[in-house]
Structure 1
């Protein structure tokens, strides 16, 4: 059997890309049917891929055997999922509902506070601040209601697929328990159908993807959860409401480099300004110090070596990823661009080496 070589593989990819843009329905329909049929295996593989570093930690560092490690890992996972759906989700929905209900009252309190100090801000004399705030209120309420309905719909959609999730988790257990077998099987398939050179390049690429993606995602997730947790505790002590909502926002936006921490501070300050104005400055200082602690102490300790993306490329990656895949795109954009940069540098160095020779 003739194996697929690199030019043929490249040609197939280019044909697929051309077909995707020229006749998007053809590939979308085919891939949709493929993912629908194999979804539990695919999701199971993704779950196993993400949990594998933790399994390695239990086996190598804690010297726990495979079966016990998997038992501890999945017991912890189900416990966290149970806490999330029974504790976090209901309170998050309650925070959003309460914020929508009390928003007019917060606007009124803010207007009264501004009226007291209007004489100190001359530029506000010619501005009908109440009308501007009411207009902002209407737009914000519409946005919150739309997002709230979307979140509820997504939540119900997830719960409707709970059986699929359970089967995916079961398959992930099989993948992790027999990961050496599946790893060997994948290598045999590549060696059987692809040329030796192409097979080697795909194996090398898979190792880089595992190192870059798992290293970044696992480290950044732990870092963001710690920062979000500290923020929730601190805001609770300062008697700022909606700490669940703020904690989730701060955790998610912590994935966004440079701009994310600033957005978290703005959100926290805005909620404090409307609900507890006296603590607004303290909230800003607390969140700013927390982000500095994250940038200089916690993140370097957890992530270790940086992905070495400049501010321009980091923001470009997040913008592009968010516009294409939403929240998921924001999370995977940074490691994706870092991987592309690493592949480009490796290719350019290889070409430079050939020219020197």
Structure 2
């Protein structure tokens, strides 16, 4: 290799990156803590970017489809006010959906919670009768039955005490909860303001990003970075659409299944399951916990069958619906979807789950294209790849 200035820069760059990677691996805990601090600081802006990406599809639908007749009118007033009106309508639609969901779910949960506290003794008797019937059906001897018999009165008494203590603790920790709520509200408000700016100026921001790339990088490198940006935008948009589509499918399947099996509160629980399904892969389990809690207050035995129903539905969702609807929409195989959710969730919680899949898809697409390009440059075809390897069993 000729040691010209360009090659020396490349060698120095590789050395610096290698040192940084080595130090990062050696001090992984410090790196993760630093990452959490940075993410906490940037959280309002991350929320804003996520909101902007989420609502951009609806904004484009309003601008290009709903108001297409006005676009063809060539009205100067409409051209100046179109973006502002469409953004206002976009946020109004989002606010309306959240308002309906909030006032549908919260009152029912409060009502169910109060019902559990008032009927807890009745549920204890129901569970005790059910246990006695099971013992009688299975022909279990009285001596052995006494050793496994559960004192449901005591269990539900403890449950009632626990729930009352939780209520008392909730009252005693109002200041902490208020502080957390204020933090979430502040981050959300800043995020919404930032998302409005992004949606208003999205074309200008894209143009500025291109100018910066062309100013500081070679044309080839700048074109590559711009292509990565376009790929990222496309994958994030498809992920958001796929995630919402998957949540709607799960909610509808849950609603249909609960009505087939005549389970109560089908609308409420299906809505909860659908909304929590927006959290990739594991979100439906959160909705299941809430659904079991609601059913436990009304028909305890139905709650057991609901768990069985959700387990089956979760298998269908995890193995068929999610990898196909979300995985295929962003070009990421199902196994990598599960890996991205697991790693992202364990590292950065719910935010890691939501961002892990599109980020993994971007890395997957870039690496896949790089591998394909290298194989083409080496003249290696698909038939050559398939023909590689020796069957050692033939020599035995």
Give the C-alpha shift of residue 172 in structure 1.
Answer: 1.9
2:232 aligned residue: 209
The question of 1:18 aligning with 2:23 is answered yes
* Counterparts of 1:254 and 1:176, CA distance in 2: 22
TM-score (norm 2): 0.64
Which structure ranks higher in relative contact order (CA pairs < 8 Å, sequence separation ≥ 6)?
Answer: 1
Give the C-alpha shift of residue 157 in structure 1.
Answer: 1.8
Q: What's the C-alpha RMSD, in Å, of the aligned pairs? A: 5.2
Distance verdict in 2 for CA 1:308–1:133, change over 3 Å: farther
User: Does the Cα contact within 8 Å between 1:96 and 1:245 map onto a contact in 2?
Assistant: no
Give the C-alpha shift of residue 6 in structure 1.
Answer: 11
The question of 1:118 aligning with 2:135 is answered yes
2:217 aligned residue: 194
TM-score (norm 1): 0.70
* Counterparts of 2:128 and 2:343, CA distance in 1: 38
* Counterparts of 1:14 and 1:138, CA distance in 2: 57
The question of 1:59 aligning with 2:63 is answered yes
- Larger mean Cα displacement after TM superposition, 279-288 or 219-228: 279-288
2:391 aligned residue: none
* Counterparts of 1:39 and 1:254, CA distance in 2: 19
The question of 1:354 aligning with 2:377 is answered yes
Which structure is larger by alpha-carbon Rg, 1 or 2?
A: 2
Distance verdict in 2 for CA 1:107–1:132, change over 3 Å: closer
Deviations for 1:218-249, whole angstroms, at most 9, x for unmatched residues?
32124314533664687589463597467434
1:70 aligned residue: 87
Deviations for 1:138-166, whole angstroms, at most 9, x for unmatched residues?
799979959x96x9966862344434433
1:128 aligned residue: 148
User: Does the Cα contact within 8 Å between 1:227 and 1:251 map onto a contact in 2?
Assistant: no
* Counterparts of 1:133 and 1:15, CA distance in 2: 61
Deviations for 1:95-127, whole angstroms, at most 9, x for unmatched residues?
567668867764552332121122333689566
User: Does the Cα contact within 8 Å between 2:327 and 2:333 map onto a contact in 1?
Assistant: no
1:45 aligned residue: 49
Question: What is the aligned length?
Answer: 351
**Equivalent in 228, 231, 243 of residue 220 of structure 1:** 243
Query: Can you give the 5+ residue segments of structure 2 that lack an aligned partner in the other structure?
Result: 1-5, 72-81, 381-396
Q: How does 1:80-159 map to 2 (within 5 A)?
A: 80-84=97-101, 88-89=105-106, 91-92=108-109, 95=112, 106=123, 108-121=125-138, 125=144, 128-130=148-150, 157-159=180-182
Distance verdict in 2 for CA 1:334–1:187, change over 3 Å: same
